[in-house]
Amino acid sequence: MSYDLIVIGSGPGGYVCAIRAAQLGMKVAVIEKNPTFGGTCLNIGCIPSKALLQASERFEEATHMLPKMGVGVGKPKLDLPTMMKFKDDGVDGNVKGVAFLFKKNKIDSFQGTGRILGAGKVEVKGTDGKTQTLEAKNIVIATGSDVAKLKGIDIDEKRIISSTGALALDKVPEKLLVIGAGVIGLELGSVWRRLGSQVTVVEFLDRIVPGMDGDIAKSFQRILEKQGVTFKLSSKVTGVDTSGKKLKVQVEPAAGGKAETIEADVVLVAIGRVPYTEGLGLKEAGVELDQRGRIKTDAHLSTNVKGIYAIGDAIAGPMLAHKAEDEGVAAAETIAGQAGHTNYDVIPSVIYTFPEVASVGKTEEELKAAGVAYNIGKFPFTANGRTKVNQTTDGFVKILADAKTDRILGGHIIGAEAGEMIHEIAVAMEFGGAAEDVARTCHAHPTRSEAIKEAAMAVAKRAIHM
């Protein structure tokens, strides 16, 4: 069978690439080794985690917020199997959506593991062990990433879990110890804390969410501590004793020193993810990897082998679904002879805790390190009418603008619904907008987004409500 394009992997990178290529008139095949489409994001990542974050947030709201608003619902009772079904139904709807889109766009799909035999040739090995060879003018590798393991700590997905196990626990652990204060640790740690776990987060560095703006991270840590999360920063886990009923976790200062033992019922390992390229035949096909095992690509997402492209978590850059999607579109358009492009300077990132944390562009630390002169505009939600009346005043908006040109270089928000609000700043940045452009744009009242306008005004020291 011969195609214009074969995509290996049906995550957000792969399935979006396949659809865009089909829209551009290509005959496309997708190879997926899992029984369902959608990759990490739809099956064991973005989608199920957001279902549990949504459900657990409502659970907490019913306990603490609704009575304050005069809505008496009594003490909420947790029905964990139903909450898990709510999550599974959401996943099911999403993965079926991808199958529908493949059909609609006349994309052929093959269930099995893809192995590149050379430029233009891919072998598919089905679950029954049978193989077939497909041919194509172009191949896009979109095989994603896998959980990073911690030496000497074996993940059994029951007591020592990765994010996958944390999305499917059958009871609320009394004590949950999270290794890694990154996005997964804080999102899934929040889920289980809301449902009743005592959560301790052990982080190697001296701060949480490395890579996020430092101001935001400090405020985020304070808020999470207020919610009951305990942090052990500058610390590392050196071992977990699984012999007893309780897990005994050995924690040491990151720099070395006296170890302490912390008891836990469940340990969540969330120290990052690594590119997944196992069994793809890259070495034989001559496709180069970088030192971190990521597939090397040029500015057009092409590998060193003509006709083989790579996108998403398997290559360099933030491991985010929307980054993979944008690269999927760019790769398809490039293959079709168009000017496919991804703007890596404007990729928003959101942590879906309560409050949410959202960011786009440069952090203050990055601007300092690059020696760029900037102005800061900050506006707290305590001074925003809508958040005040809704009593969700934790957090602030921070805008960083070039000191000379006023061009927006970065935007950072911590606060309720920050993940929806950040896109206003992203669009302004995509258009090369200045802080004054946002400041002079009329914003509806009363909205949380007025805090963005005020932060933009604060860049020129002319915020009204502060």
Chain residues in the site for ligand NAI (CB under 6 A): 150, 179-185, 187, 202-205, 210, 236-237, 270-273, 318-320, 349-352
The least distance separating ligand FAD from the CB of residue 143, rounded to whole angstroms, comes to 4
**Among this protein's residues, is 64 annotated catalytic?**
no
Tell me the CA end-to-end span of the chain in Å, nearest whole number.
66
Dihedral sign (CA 456, 459, 461, 466): positive
Binding residue (CB under 6 A) for ligand FAD from 21, 26, 46, 178: 46
Print the binding letters for residues 137-176 with ligand FAD: x by CB under 6 A, - otherwise.
-----xxxx-----------------x-------------
315 binds, among ligand NAI, ligand FAD, none (CB under 5 to 8 A by kind): none
Tell me the window of 4-12, 218-226, 390-398, 438-446 that interacts with ligand FAD (CB under 6 A). Answer: 4-12
Asked if 113 interacts with ligand FAD (CB under 6 A), we say yes
Residues 263-292 that bind ligand FAD (CB under 6 A): 276, 279-280
Print the binding letters for residues 393-432 with ligand FAD: x by CB under 6 A, - otherwise.
----------------------------------------
Tokens matching residue 456: 């933009």
Crossing angle between the packed helical segments 80-104 and 46-64, to the nearest 10 degrees: 140
Dihedral sign (CA 243, 245, 246, 247): positive
Asked if 39 interacts with ligand FAD (CB under 6 A), we say yes
Nearer to ligand NAI, 264 or 285 (CB): 264
Amino acid, single-letter form, for residue 195: L
Q: How far apart are CA 290 and CA 296, in angstroms?
A: 6
Q: How far apart are CA 326 and CA 360, in angstroms?
A: 15
41 binds, among ligand FAD, ligand NAI, none (CB under 5 to 8 A by kind): ligand FAD
Binding residue (CB under 6 A) for ligand FAD from 96, 246, 322, 341: 322
Binding residue (CB under 6 A) for ligand FAD from 114, 165, 415, 433: 114
269 binds, among ligand NAI, ligand FAD, none (CB under 5 to 8 A by kind): none
Radius of gyration of the chain (CA): 23
Amino acid, single-letter form, for residue 26: M
Cis ω before 12 (30° cut-off from 0): no
Catalytic residue among 322, 341, 412, 445: 445
In angstroms, the Cα distances linking 451 to 111, 340, 439, 454, 463 are 48, 35, 10, 5, 10
Nearer to ligand FAD, 28 or 434 (CB): 28
Asked if 331 interacts with ligand FAD (CB under 6 A), we say no
Residue 236 has phi, psi (to 5 degrees) of -135, 150
Half-sphere exposure of 262 (CA within 13 A, CB side): 23
The least distance separating ligand NAI from the CB of residue 44, rounded to whole angstroms, comes to 11
Asked if 182 interacts with ligand FAD (CB under 6 A), we say no
Residue 135 has phi, psi (to 5 degrees) of -120, 150
The least distance separating ligand FAD from the CB of residue 270, rounded to whole angstroms, comes to 8
Report the SS3 class of residue 357.
Answer: strand
Question: Of 367, 369, 444, 352, whose CA–CA distance to 398 is shortest?
Answer: 367
Look-up of token digits 């990151």: 254
Binding residue (CB under 6 A) for ligand FAD from 6, 10, 179, 251: 10
Other beta carbons less than 10 A from residue 356's beta carbon: 21
356 binds, among ligand FAD, ligand NAI, none (CB under 5 to 8 A by kind): none
Report the SS3 class of residue 46.
Answer: helix
Asked if 45 interacts with ligand FAD (CB under 6 A), we say yes
276 binds, among ligand FAD, ligand NAI, none (CB under 5 to 8 A by kind): ligand FAD
The least distance separating ligand NAI from the CB of residue 12, rounded to whole angstroms, comes to 11
114 binds, among ligand FAD, ligand NAI, none (CB under 5 to 8 A by kind): ligand FAD
Asked if 313 interacts with ligand FAD (CB under 6 A), we say yes
Contact call for residues 237 and 251 (beta carbons, < 8 A): yes
Other beta carbons less than 10 A from residue 386's beta carbon: 18
Q: How far apart are CA 333 and CA 441, in angstroms?
A: 34
463 binds, among ligand FAD, ligand NAI, none (CB under 5 to 8 A by kind): none
Nearer to ligand NAI, 114 or 328 (CB): 328
Asked if 14 interacts with ligand FAD (CB under 6 A), we say yes
Residue 217 has phi, psi (to 5 degrees) of -60, -40
Asked if 219 interacts with ligand FAD (CB under 6 A), we say no
Contact call for residues 370 and 341 (beta carbons, < 8 A): no
Question: Of 254, 259, 185, whose CA–CA distance to 224 is shortest?
Answer: 185
Contact call for residues 348 and 359 (beta carbons, < 8 A): yes
Active site residues: 445
In the complex, which residues of this chain contact ligand FAD (CB under 6 A)?
Answer: 8-14, 31-34, 39-41, 45-46, 49, 113-114, 142-145, 163, 184, 276, 279-280, 312-314, 319-322, 324, 352
